[in-house]
A and B are shown apart, each in its own frame.
Chain A
């Protein structure tokens, strides 16, 4: 591109992009969403298996996710994220939870409530023999934790109209027998049926108010249509999170400073231009991350640091070529043109292979690794733009002036430039 106007247009476009980025960056502190490993929080990966005879279907998984979200909501956890991954696992991300283990238990509980008659108990082994299921938890209208008239902790259940009818029938037909209230296969209590009961029932045999609250919660949200097994749970406390974030940022800033010093020392004026390019790159990258609300994880920060290194790399490749061309007595403008032409091919080849790697990581990775893949991929693309397009335009516009060939600008020693290395018009 020889057209001066074209280059000016490019620079203007970039200024606009920078402006938009800065808009997204303010306010600075809340601009970037942090991943759980930096903010503190819990990630749970649940595998779904069939419950009883029901197979796991798309529908049941969707329903399960809705129920889980309902439970998370009732737990009072804000900004949760519930998604599925490539192998039908359910991934739950809960930022900043006080009692993660309790949350995990509540979320994963199947909560299958059954009312059955306790037919017999083996005196010796304690094995229980239960009759068929007479009613299930879907007939519940409300459930709440509380105390009974004796001051014991119970879960009070009120049934739907249909439920009340059925319950009446069960109790009237089974007076004198024990009604086993079974929650997830465990007999919570088995009171004797003295009379026909119209209305509500309670679950006894509960140890703490916390437990009662949890049971009430899961009963209200309904039973999960699938059985969930916790494959992985991972909690990072806020202290550790903040610690990692600080260290990561420190390293980034110190590293960046070192890079700046190095570039200035080695490539002088060209180096300064590349530094401008890199700062612009960081601004645009930041803006995009803030704009698309991507969560930055710890590996993500490492990815950002790496892509800064790669952006510098792109500049180094090009500058070395430019210097080489200048040593061959080419004019500044030609040298810059040649440098970019040859460099671009190399840079694109090199960056495409990194993109392939990032894509593979994204497809097959989870959580924090994905964060890394996203920053790596984004960074490569944006750095190609700033290094190949923006820097080129800036250099092109400067090449029209006499400073372009001064040793102070390129870092080439005077003896390597022939005496008549003046600018030659194209």
Chain B
């Protein structure tokens, strides 16, 4: 796809884009409430997770039976393959865990050792949550300051808004699709933030360069021109970065798939936000608080 000398009207139609963004975000928020909140992984709530490899294909009811007999009727079962299950419960000690594994082995037959065996105390989960939020917060502040220094305050704030926009969309998708949020989701979100920023800064950089021409042509035109000029680059970059990530989405293990899912949504949102949100927003800001006038 070549966009040589194309001249789409991004800026003029910006009200449409803002409405689309708002709609998607509201859909996400609605999803959050309809689905009853996020599904938080054991990293945040605490709990126990075992992934077991059964010797033969097994049905979920069989596993459910064994768990109920042991007193874990509220265990969450997830079938990852025809003979593999992920079993989640409240935090349990090693004795109990061995009991579960032994029962499953006796009743159905499993391969030892378990594929995966995790245990997180709720208190620790809270600690991880706190630190994840701090990491996000520190990143945002650091980014804001940097962009403020390199450009101006309004660029910094707009960039952060674009970020928040992308993160909200990603989280919204998680809420609607009822996917679990764990620490790799957080890592993905931080990556998306960095990436979306990448994208946004490339456009901002161009705008900054072209701004002197605003005296003659007006800020609106200059911004639109800048977006058009950086369009090819924006799209090409997203495409090349998405290649390996989409492959991961297709062939990855459940953990990798989760990660790739977040990145895919975030990258698409990030590209969208740099083109259709961040720069047009600058124009709106400028119209309200003019800095660049004809």
Contacts and interface: CB of A to CB of B under 8 A. Distances in A.
Interface of A: 45, 47, 87, 98-101, 104-105, 229-237, 239-240, 243-244, 247-248, 250-252, 254-256, 258-259, 262-263, 266, 298-299, 302-303, 305-306, 308-310, 312-313, 316-317, 320, 324, 327, 342, 345-346, 349-354, 356-361, 363-366, 368-369, 372, 376, 416
B8 interface: no
A232 B119 contact: yes
Contacts of A317: 202, 233, 237
B252 A349 contact: no
Interface string B45-82: 00000010100000000000000000000000000000
Main secondary structure of the interface of A (DSSP, over half): helix
B251 to A, nearest CB: 6
B240 A320 contact: no
B171 to A, nearest CB: 17
Contacts of A233: 117-119
B29 interface: no
Contacts of B132: 364
B114 A235 contact: yes
A45 B191 contact: no
Contacts of A230: 119, 121
A101 to B, nearest CB: 5
Nearest to A355: B194
Contact of A235 (B117, B120, B232, B240): B117
Interface stretch (B11-19, B142-150, B216-224, B286-294): B142-150
Interface in B237-271: 237, 239-241, 243-245, 247-248, 251-253, 255-256, 259-260, 263
Contacts, number: 210
Nearest to A252: B244
Given A237-B116, A244-B256, A255-B243, 8 more contacts: A101-B94, A232-B118, A232-B124, A255-B248, A302-B263, A345-B205, A360-B135, A376-B194
Main secondary structure of the interface of B (DSSP, over half): helix
Chain B interface size band reads 35 or more
Interface stretch (B32-40, B173-181, B182-190, B276-284): B182-190
Contacts of B243: 255, 258-259, 262, 309
A68 to B, nearest CB: 17
A353 B117 contact: no
Contacts of B190: 357, 360-361
Contacts of B232: 320
A368 B183 CA distance: 9
B7 interface: no
Interface in B114-145: 114-121, 123-124, 127-128, 131-132, 134-136, 138-139, 142-143
